[in-house]
Structure 1
Amino acid sequence: MGQATAMPTEADISPDARAVLKALATRKNVIITGPPGTGKSRLLNEVRELFQWKQGATGSAPTGRIPIPATSGPIPSWFPSPDQDVTRAVFQTVFDQNTKYRDFMRGLVPKVGEAGAFMVTSGTLYRAAVHARHDGNTALVLVDEINRGPAVAAFGSALVGLEPDKRLPTDGTATETTQFFEILGDGGEHESFALPHDLYILAAMNEADTSVEPLDVAFLRRFHLHRLEPQANVLREHLGLDPTPSPLPETPSGAEDYYEALAQAFTKINDQVLLGRGQAYQLGHGALMHASAGSDVGAAQEYVATAWATIRGHIDEVFYGNTRAVSDVLRAENSNSVYSLEESTFAGQTVRRISGPLRPTSEELYKLLALIATE
């Protein structure tokens, strides 16, 4: 737990967190999406802390530029449910391949130690909805990795009541547009249920993850999408570089040259990934912010080597099976590259492979990054 040295106000809220909170206030349901390393988890954490608006409290600042959640003044009028200030609770879960409707809403599970006996579960969304039904309460449900599990099945019948006009008003009196759906009651009987007005859902997903299926359109249209993009300026600031790129010398003379080559190559590689695979497959700046950037040459060389391992792994993944594309990114057909593209024939077909160092030396790596950055 960190100690609050100052009382953050509205001015301390990042632009992304402000945009997400405003979208939650009007749309109720928001999904943060973007390439890996663009700060989706950081933004989830920031919104989680801000949503609770803990007056005068001290709290954690997990990573990055997350304000310590001590707050001052009334809840801003543009916040989700600004008048609901009795208990502003957050309920958090992560979807995986085994997530079921009973984990998120309600279902039957065996009672431990009682053969043949069952109990009704109270899942994350259901508990949050019950909390938000009480006067003065509001609830935020955080779902990380929402597309890693069967999201449509997990929400189940609750999908029909997600949209703002389908919710119960704050006073709990149903309108002609309120959408009820059936769930299991505490005794196992079926009962009608509607999601409350002061319930919000914020999720995050990596839409380029090749191990998961895309979410269907009917599901996504119930959410506002807030997209995050790679930001080279954030990486440059982390590396202690000026906002404007500087020319790269043929031979590095200090730590700054290594960092400059890394930052410029990062931008060029993302440009090629954008052309070859699309927006969602880029690499986020956060993936290369794995440690503090040391000021001596040895520390810079080690930092850049670790960053390159991340970059190379990403290149191989997004262009899997496309040796020609990997070759273009690595400049393997340029005589100055440390890699080369070799072609041979196998079973009557042309086979291509890239040869070169598995772990380039510091000199080789600087040469390669500078080539990628300037060619």
Structure 2
Amino acid sequence: MVSKIDDIFSSWGEGRNVLLYGPPATGKTRLISELFQALQQPPQAKRGIQLNAANAVQPFSRPALPITIPMPAKVVWTTFHQSYGYEDFVLGLRPKMNATGTSLEPWAGVFLDAALELDDPHSQYKSVVIFIDEINRGNAARIFGEFMTFLDFDYRADGKVPLPVPLRQLAFSGGVSEEIHRPGGDSSTIAEGFVFPKDVYIVATMNSVDRAAVPIDSALARRFDRIEMRPDLDALAEHWELDPATVPVPDDSNWMGLEPLEAGYLLLDRLNVAIASDLGPEFELGHGLLTPILASLVDASGTVQARSEDDLWKSLAKTWDDVLFPQLEDRYSGRPEQLMGLLHVDSPPASGDYAWRLRSAKSASASARTLSPVRVSNLDLDIIKRSFKWLTR
């Protein structure tokens, strides 16, 4: 995570916005949370060593991750959705009742308010960071409007071609705008020819699987550096304190000896290889879907206790029922044969019951090629173990 935060700061230092994209549960929200913390307390950098001679126990340490934007930074969070518009992000006009009737007052949205913050000589902040979650769930081109130009740092203050901010909705008198209301109750005015400040930075997230989302257009996309967030088996192994080097490759001789966390690790690996080759890597399952399975628990006395194997198998089965299988059903909607192939329905273990099988009808004249409904976590423990071990192959 630290290396990706470093990448974000590097992009900002080069005058670029950042877009984190990938399947769900690949750590996009967690990375943003860590970035928020980094703006308040920088984590350790990956390079360099600093010496503290006064610390005899640990004299050497990594220096703090360098923050390459002016500090302190104001952090703003917003989420795009289908009802989110230009009025929320840039500038909107809201009605106000008065003695003579109704008038329209300008209200700054998130992006314009960031510019007003840095234009305010009394502000304590030297930069503003805007987090945009789910940027492709709204009509981004409409939300940014003509302010899409100012995503490009070349057209801001100190850029190659600084341009005046076009705010035709505002009334100007004597070279100064009418009062603009801001979130939090403050108000500001701006001068004609106002140039968008340099130190407004954006980091956005995008779910690559969401079919209901609106694809971002090329004019918007080219103003972002893209950082791909992929499923990370190493992160899952670290979460479970599992050494990937010791996880066996399942074959005819060893598959029955797999432990529950090894099976979970191998299961995610196999499913994602199959999904990537069939549907594309953007449809893979994020490792975060399995992190609710905990290798150990803290008891009432505060002691860390490793969970029993049986408990872990049951936890894997419940996670499959509640999280993993619904994701597979969504990805293979309308493609039952591919899903059944993924589950080895036609090639179950040679002996013993198996969780996934074809549905049968009481009438001999009725035949079907469809999965029999099953909640794996309700099955006997022996069937749960056998089924997930076989599914890793």
TM-score (norm 2): 0.75
Q: Does 1:120 pair with 2:121?
A: no
State the match for 1:33 in structure 2.
Answer: 21
1:42-53 superposed matches below 5 A: 42-53=30-41
1:187 aligned partner, one-letter code:
E
Q: 1:339 aligns with which of 337, 343, 356?
A: 356
Q: Report if aligned partners of 2:17, 2:201 keep a CA contact under 8 Å in 1.
A: yes
- Pairing 1:357–2:374 present: yes
Once the two structures are aligned, what percentage of the paired residues are identical? 24
CA displacement, residues 287-323 of structure 1 (integer Å, 9 cap, x when unaligned): 1111522321343123202321211111111111111
Show structure 2 runs of 5+ residues with no match: 44-61, 171-176, 181-189, 297-306, 362-366
SS in 1 for 2:334: coil
RMSD: 2.9
Q: Partner of 2:174 in structure 1?
A: none
Alignment-derived partner of residue 319 in structure 1: 332
Find the counterpart in structure 1 of residue 138 from structure 2: 149
CA shift in 2, pair 1:221/1:95, >3 Å: same
For 1:196 and 1:335, the matched residues in 2 are separated by 63
Amino acid at match of 1:267: D
1:121-156: CA deviation from partner (whole Å, max 9, x where unpaired):
111111112223457711111111111111111111
Segment of structure 1 superposing worse, 46-55 or 263-272 = 46-55
| CA 158–137 in structure 1, closer or farther in 2 if over 3 Å, else same | same
1:296 match: 308
The one-letter code of the counterpart of 1:321 is G
Task: Give the aligned partner of residue 66 of structure 1.
Answer: none
Q: Aligned in 2, Cα 1:335/1:298: closer, same or farther, shift over 3 Å?
A: closer
Counterpart Cα distance in 2 of 1:351 and 1:202: 49
Distance 1:325 1:111 in 2: 59
Q: Which residue of structure 2 aligns with residue 347 of structure 1? A: none
Report if aligned partners of 1:161, 1:194 keep a CA contact under 8 Å in 2: no
Distance 1:113 1:328 in 2: 68
Bigger drift between 91-100 and 239-248 goes to 239-248
1:367 is the counterpart of 2:356: no
Alignment-derived partner of residue 47 in structure 2:
none
The residue matched to 1:200 in structure 2 has which SS?
A: strand
Q: What residue is the counterpart of 1:60 in the other structure?
A: none
Structure 2 contact 129–201 (Cα < 8 Å) conserved: yes
CA deviation map 1:70-118 (0-9, x unaligned):
xx98883xx333xx33x31111111111111111111112237986233
Q: Distance in 2 between matches of 1:44 and 1:234?
A: 17
Equivalent residue runs for 1:233-252 within 5 Å: 233-244=234-245, 245-246=247-248, 249=254, 251=256
Closer/same/farther in 2, CA of residues 143 and 327 from structure 1, 3 Å limit: same
Q: 2:82 aligns with which of 78, 90, 97?
A: 97
Structure 1: gaps spanning 5 or more residues:
1-12, 56-71, 170-174, 345-349
The alpha-carbon deviation at position 14 of structure 1 amounts to: 0.9
Cα 1:232–1:24 change in 2 (3 A) is same
Match of 1:127, SS state, is helix
Amino acid paired to 1:178: P
1:88-237 matches, within 5 Å, as: 88-111=73-96, 116-133=102-119, 137-169=126-158, 177-183=161-167, 184-185=169-170, 187=178, 192-237=193-238
- State the alpha-carbon separation in 2 of the partners of residues 155 and 47 from structure 1: 24
CA distance in 2, matches of 1:21, 1:102: 29
Q: What is the letter of the counterpart of residue 320 of structure 2?
A: W
2:52 paired residue number? none
1:259, distance to aligned residue in structure 2 (A): 1.4
Distance 1:258 1:158, change over 3 A: same
For residues 291 and 130 of structure 1, do their structure 2 counterparts lie closer, same or farther at Cα, with a shift above 3 Å needed? farther
Does the CA contact (< 8 Å) of 2:358 and 2:369 recur in 1? yes
**Displacement after TM superposition at 1:266 (Å):** 0.7
Displacement, 1:192? 4.9
Shift in Å, 1:165: 1.1
Q: Which moved more, 1:286-295 or 1:114-123?
A: 114-123
Alpha-carbon deviation of 1:176? 6.0
Q: Would you say the 8 A contact 2:259–2:309 is kept in 1?
A: no
On the 8 A contact 2:355/2:376 being kept in 1, the answer is no
The alpha-carbon deviation at position 258 of structure 1 amounts to: 1.2
Q: How many residues were matched structurally?
A: 328
TM-score scaled by structure 1? 0.79
- Check whether the contact 1:179–1:194 (CA below 8 A) recurs between aligned residues: yes
Partners of 2:26 and 2:287 within 8 A in 1: yes
